[in-house]
Amino acid sequence: MLLHDESPAAVEAREKNFILGTYNRTPFHPRSGKGAQLFDADGRAYWDLLGGIAVNVLGHKHPKLVKALREESDSLLHVSNLFYHPAQGILGERLVRESGLRRAFFCNSGTEANEAALKFARLANPGRSGIVALEESFHGRTLGSLSMTGHEAYRTPFAPLVPGVTFVAPNDVAALEAAVTNEVCAIFLEPVMGEGGIIPLTDEYLFTARKLADKTGAVLVFDEIQCGLGRTGKFFAFQHSGVVPDIVTLAKPLGGGLPLGAVLTGDIIEGLVKPGHHGTTFGGNPVACRLGNTVLDELKAGALVQRVDTYGEWFQRQLKALQAKTPAIVEIRGMGMMWGIELDRPAGPVARELLGKGFVVGTARDRVLRLLPPYIVPKKALTEFISALEQVCRTGALACPTAAATGEGACPTQNHKEKAA
Ligand SMILES: *Cc1c(COP(=O)(O)O)cnc(C)c1O
């Protein structure tokens, strides 16, 4: 069955009838990709500045990933965790050495990595159930990870959740100090918050978290599922501050596009996790781990983390220059290949207008455009994006004061454009 032959209309109609409504999908139908480009069902090309939500760091159809996938699937697609296979150990060793932590556990997704981290933290602190997490954080959708996710709308329909979670405002040192008591078992932080709107935590805040964890015995967990593995211009985001956590969780780009998550544990967890405490059927699958090793190979071979850093600084200057002449752009936040463009109005329509111009971008919360491009993104794509955004600022969805600000109706230039179209 050639799935690519299905027309977009047929795909949408079938989903409407048979797929649960968990996603508010954009009517966009990517069917193939190469490098930082995606091609839709009509063959139209787009710059992919979202990278499958921080997954496709090597872009699409990377020859090394395709080759590794072919080779490894020619041996074994799956082997149970009851037996040995070299793939997990090799990837585990590399991640452990990069992080300075001690051991790795492999799972299939980000939310699973955080679930495992929470269980390991419980082992380190028997009888202590408090968790400190951040307002507007995102740690995943399963019940444990959801319980620590600061976005209230995601949690409310599923209450009661895991009890004992205290949410504090990001970068509020005093609030963190007040929240981390001797009853706290774990502190969960994203060094650069992703879904929350691309909010980097300050060095001071991370230092304080480390100090409080040391004082109380709480396990400091850094969720680097979105910001880790080179995204911020260092291999781990925590390396900017030098604050080393007790546990790091990873996922999104780790499997090169296949589902793969990891938990890296430090000294505080040594000797605690015994057979039977945790496990997974698919976690650390040989094909996913092989691709994970290929991702790490390519980060090194292409000096991609350095590239992310260099291009990130250049891109920030372009974004800030645009912000300086655009009232609708409130703030630019981020680093490396992780950017939030906060607007004075909902970001959804702006993202759709950019899609129409050939740029795939994401959003975060209501008003933030979110960019998570592949690390190999050509400078040309970023330059063209800046021009497209500039155009949206001049004549498109960002051209007018918000209706709220002026008390008026729709934007005249937009009406004009619609009439012309
Ligand atoms: C995406 C994400 C998760 C959840 O990962 P899934 O693989 O979707 O379960 C957790 N934490 C952060 C920071 C994320 O960005």
Q: Report CA(20)–ligand 1 centroid distance (Å).
A: 20
Q: How far is residue 175 CA from its own chain's centroid? A: 26
Ligand 1 mean position, distance from CA 138 (Å): 7
Query: Whole-prediction pTM value?
Result: 0.95
The atom number, within ligand 1, closest to the CA of 193 reads: 13
- Does the C-beta of 385 come closer than 6 Å to ligand 1? no
What b/e sequence results for 30-49 when a residue is b if at least 16 CB atoms lie within 10 Å of its CB, and e otherwise?
A: beebebbbbbbbeeeebbbb
Atom of ligand 1 nearest to the CA of 53: 1
Q: Indicate whether residue 150 lines ligand 1 (CB < 6 A).
A: no
What pLDDT does 403 receive? 58
State the pLDDT at residue 410.
53
74: number of Cβ within 10 Å: 8
Assess whether the C-beta atom of 190 lies below 6 angstroms from ligand 1.
yes
pLDDT value at residue 404? 58
Residues 6+ away with beta carbon under 8 Å from 3: none
Distance 421 CA to ligand 1 centre (A): 40
Q: How far is the CA of 228 from the centre of ligand 1 (A)?
A: 11
- The CA 5 to ligand 1 mean position distance, Å, reads 32
Q: How far is the CA of 110 from the centre of ligand 1 (A)?
A: 4
pLDDT value at position 5?
79
- Nearest atom of ligand 1 to the alpha carbon of 114: 10
Give pLDDT, residue 408. Answer: 52
* Cα(343) to centroid(ligand 1), Å: 24
pLDDT for the residue numbered 406: 55
Ligand 1 within 6 A of 298 CB?
Answer: no
Identify the pLDDT of residue 416: 43
Q: What is the pLDDT of residue 324?
A: 96
Tell me the C-alpha distance between 23 and 185, whole Å: 33
Residue 225 beta carbon below 6 angstroms from any ligand 1 atom:
yes
Q: What is the pLDDT of residue 13?
A: 96
The ligand 1 atom nearest the CA atom of 109:
7
* Centre of ligand 1 from the C-alpha of residue 393, in Å: 31
CA distance 346 to 162: 32
Q: Can you list the domains of the chain with their CATH numbers?
A: 3-62+303-416 (3.90.1150.10), 75-301 (3.40.640.10)
Cα(32) to centroid of ligand 1, in Å?
24
Q: Would you say the CB of residue 110 lies under 6 angstroms from ligand 1? A: yes
- Most informative mutation of 226, 229, 231 for ligand 1 (most atoms within 8 A of CB): 226
**Is the CB of 249 inside a 6 Å radius of any atom of ligand 1?**
no
Please tell me the distance between residue 191's alpha carbon and the centre of ligand 1 in angstroms.
Answer: 14
Give average pLDDT by consecutive 10-residue segment, the chain, 421 residues. Answer: 81 96 96 98 97 98 98 96 96 98 98 98 97 98 98 97 98 98 98 98 98 98 98 98 98 98 98 98 98 98 97 98 95 98 96 98 97 98 97 90 59 46 37
Going by C-beta distance under 8 Å and a sequence separation of 6 or more, which residues neighbour residue 377? 36, 47, 49, 59, 311, 337
Q: CA separation (Å) from 150 to 3, 201, 331?
A: 38, 15, 22
Per-residue pLDDT, 1: 58
Tell how far the Cα of 167 is from the centroid of ligand 1, in angstroms.
18
Ligand 1: which of 225, 231, 370 to mutate, judged by most atoms within 8 Å of the beta carbon? 225
Note the pLDDT of residue 420: 41
CA distance 348 to 316: 22
Pocket test for ligand 1, best of 22, 138, 147, 238 (most atoms within 8 A of CB): 138
Query: What does the pLDDT look like over 91-134, one tens digit per residue?
Result: 999 999 999 999 999 999 999 999 999 999 999 999 999 999 99
Judged by phi (left if over 0) then psi (alpha if -120 to 50, else beta), residue 54 lies in: left
Contacts of residue 378, defined as CB under 8 A and 6 or more positions apart, other chains included, come to: 35, 36
Query: Ligand 1 centroid to 237 CA: how many Å?
Result: 15
